[in-house]
Homo-oligomer: A and B are copies of this chain.
């Protein structure tokens, strides 16, 4: 099963700035939201963390390129995929489309944060991969 998800958002007036185009931090909100909806298939962030004895599936690094301005009324589709697993992080790609037009492409490098000896640190992510793979249908 591929680790991917497709999400939708109808862009509204309040997502936009005085130049009339989407205020870019909202694009990161939609990227994170798409990952969280992917996780909801496995019980959601809290349930996944509980199973893994983890504190959070937080971020180490994020990035986005803006290809086309988004505006009030645009029907946005966000396609997410986990594209790479390292020892202590995994990388996701998010692409946002309006129809066939690519509006943005972004990435998130995420970790599995654990409390160990009173400190929060990045743990092995293989356990997360195993948990996701163990669901034949999410």
Contacts and interface: CB of A to CB of B under 8 A. Distances in A.
Interface of A: 10, 12-21, 23-26, 28-29, 32-33, 36-37, 39-40, 44-46, 55-56, 58-66, 69, 72-73, 113, 120
Given A13-B44, A19-B113, A58-B69, 10 more contacts: A15-B33, A16-B17, A17-B17, A17-B56, A19-B56, A25-B28, A40-B72, A45-B72, A62-B63, A62-B64
Given A61-B65, A73-B40, A23 B14 contact: yes
Closest 5 A/B residue pairs (Cβ):
A19-B56, A12-B36, A25-B28, A13-B36, A12-B33
A128 to B, nearest CB: 15
